[in-house]
Amino acid sequence: MKAYKVAELLKFEELQQDILVRGWVKAFRQNRFIQLNDGSTIKNIQCVVDFERFDESILEKITVGSAIGIEGGLVESQGSGQQVEVIAKNIVIYGEANPDEVSKTILQPKRHTLEKLREQAHLRPRTNTFGAVTRVRSGLAFAVHKYFQEKGFYYINTPIITGSDAEGAGEMFRVTTLDPVNPPTTDDGQVDYGEDFFGKETSLTVSGQLEAEVFAMSLGQVYTFGPTFRAENSNTSRHLAEFWMIEPEVAFCELDGNMDLAEEFIKYVIKYTMDHCKEDLAFLEQRLLQEEKSKPQAERSEMSLTEKLNFVIDNNFMRVSYTEAIDILKNCKPNKKKKFKYLIDDWGADLQSEHERYLVEKHFKCPVILFDYPAKIKAFYMRLNEDGKTVRAMDVLFPGIGEIVGGSQREERFDVLTQKIADLGIDEKELWWYLDLRKFGTAPHSGFGLGFERLVQFVTGMTNIRDVIPFPRTPNNAEF
C-alpha cells in the first residue's frame, strides 16, 4: 500500500482507495476521530475509526503521542473543518505512549510556556509552534543557498577548529586534548600547547570570514553557511554560544555594493519564505497575536507578522552614517531623560542594542544600515577611511532584533593592515597567510555576516533566540 504524507493527502481533491498514512496522534475523540500529524505540515489529518470494527485492545493504544499507521481510503469529509479525511480500514500501532506519563510532558494538548518547551527540547518539535519554526528555518536555509547559487557564488566550508581569532575579541572556546589536571608545561611554568593535538593553541571558530576572504580572492564570490561559536557571557534573547552564520565575501566590491548585496539578499530570503511557508507563517502570526495580547498596550507591536515582513520587502533600508546616528541619539528623548541604560555622550561610543532599536523602531521606523563606524570599536580587518578615524563598516539593524548583519569593506592595503595589526598588538605571525593575500594581487573586497538565528527570529516573530534553534547552547546550558 502506498504511503502518503499528510501534506500530500490534504492536497488531493479526489477520492483515493488504498492509502497508508503514518504519524503521531494529536487527539482521539469519542473513540472515533483521530487527529494525526506527521510533521509534513502544521495541519493534522482526520482519521475516522468505526470503533465497532476494531478490537478494544487496539483502540486503547491510540492515545496522544502514540505513533500509528492507518490504512484506508481518503474521502470527502462529512464533518466541517476539513475537506478530506481517512476512513480507517486497518490500524498499526508502532509505539504506545502512556497517558499518565504523557500528561506530565509538553505532549499534553494544552497551552505550555516557551520556557517549559525548552526544558523538553527533545519533545518540542512535536508542538505546533516548534514544528512551524523548524519548517520555516529549513525553508530559510534553502533560500540562502538558492539565492547565492543563482547569483554565481560558491559555497565554501571554512574550518570549525582554528588557530586565529577572526574578530580579535577573545571570546573563543579552546579546543585541546591536554590533560586539564596535569598539562605539560614549558620551562617558565606555562601550559605547553606545543604538546597539544595540533602543536599549537586552537579554538572553535567565531567566524569563517578570514578563510572566506582567501576564496573570494581566487573564486571571486563565495559564501559560507556554518556553525560559529562565541564564549561571550551574554544571557540575552539574541545571543547564543553556538549559532549559524552566513558569510558572503566578494572580490572587487566596495562598501556600497556590500550594502546592496545585504539588502537584496535579506529581502529575497524573506520573500521566498513568505511564498513557500504560508501555513506555518499564518500559524505563527496568530501565535504572536495571542502573545501580544498579554502585553501592556504600549508594548504591543503595531504591525502583524505579515505586515512586518512585507514592510521589510517593500521599503528601502535607510543608510545612515555612524556620525549622523550619534547626533540623533545624543539629542533624543530617552538619552536626555536618562532612560537609556548606556547614555550617549560623545562620538566614539559603542552602540548598544537599546540605541540600535531606538533608531530602527522609534526614529526611522524601518530597517537601517549604519556605516563608517569609529575604527576603535570595530575589528582589525576593516578598511580605514581617508579621515584616519573611521572604517568602512556596516551593520544592518532590524526592528525587534537590533543588529542582524555585521560586515565591512576589508583593508586590502598591506601597509595599512600591518600597521593596524601592530597597533592592536596582534601577533603578525599568526596572520601570515592573511597578509599574503595583500601581497599577491590584492584588490578591494567586502563581505558580511548574517546571524541565521536572528533572521529566523525576525521571520517567525519568536522573541527568544533559544526558540528558533533545535538545541540552544547558552551560558550554563548544554543539555540535550
Name the site residues for ligand 4AD (rule: CB under 6 A). Answer: 166-167, 207, 209, 230, 232, 239-240, 243, 245, 247, 403-408, 447-451, 453-454
Neighbours of 145 (CB within 10 A): 15
Query: At which residue does the C-alpha cell 566578494 appear?
Result: 250
Contacted by 420, from Mg ion, ligand 4AD, none: CB < 5 to 8 Å by type: none
335 binding partner (options ligand 4AD, Mg ion, none; Cβ < 5 to 8 Å by kind): none
Please choose which of Mg ion, ligand 4AD, none residue 247 contacts, taking the beta carbon within 5 to 8 angstroms, the exact cut-off set by kind: ligand 4AD
Q: Which helix (H) or strand (E) holds 74?
A: strand 67-76
Give the three cell numbers for residue 103.
500528561
Which of Mg ion, ligand 4AD, none binds 25 (CB below 5-8 Å, type-dependent)? none
Residue 44 or residue 224: which is nearer to Mg ion going by CB?
A: 224
What DSSP assignment string belongs to 404-418? EEEEEEB---HHHHH
In the complex, least distance from residue 448 CB atom to ligand 4AD, rounded to whole angstroms? 5
Cβ pair 222, 215 in contact under 8 A:
yes
Q: Which does 165 bind (CB under 5 to 8 A by kind): Mg ion, ligand 4AD, none?
A: none
> How many Å separate Cα 10 from the centre of its chain?
30
Nearer to Mg ion, 310 or 353 (CB): 353
* In the complex, least distance from residue 447 CB atom to ligand 4AD, rounded to whole angstroms: 5
User: 398 and 311 in contact (C-beta within 8 Å)?
Assistant: no
> Residue 85 binds what, of ligand 4AD, Mg ion, none (CB under 5 to 8 Å, by partner type)?
none
Q: What are phi and psi of 321, to 5 degrees?
A: -75, 155
Residue showing the smallest CB distance to Mg ion in the complex? 406
**Closest CB 235 distance from ligand 4AD, rounded Å:** 11
Whole-angstrom distance, CA of residue 115 vs CA of residue 122: 13
Q: For residues 98 and 186, give the distance between their C-alpha atoms in angstroms, rounded to a whole number.
A: 59
Q: What's the rounded Cα separation, in Å, for the pair 262 and 283?
A: 28
Whether 97 and 107 have beta carbons less than 8 Å apart is answered as yes
Question: Per-residue string for binding with Mg ion, 392-431, x by CB under 5 A?
Answer: --------------x-------------------------
Number of residues in contact with Mg ion under rule CB under 5 A = 1
Q: How far is the CB of 391 from ligand 4AD (least distance, A)?
A: 12
Nearer to Mg ion, 139 or 406 (CB): 406
- Closest to ligand 4AD by CB, 66 or 207: 207
To ligand 4AD, the closest distance from the beta carbon of 451 in angstroms equals 2
The listed partner (ligand 4AD, Mg ion, none) that binds 467, CB under 5 to 8 Å by sort, is: none
Between 209 and 335, CB nearer to ligand 4AD: 209
Pick the closer one to ligand 4AD by CB: 357 or 454: 454
Give the DSSP letter string of 188-247. TS-B-GGGSTTSS-EEE-S-SHHHHHHHHHHHSEEEEEEEEE------STT--SEEEEEE
Cα 28 to its chain centre, rounded Å, is 35
Cα distance between residue 275 and residue 210, in whole Å: 35
Q: Which residues bind Mg ion (CB under 5 A)?
A: 406
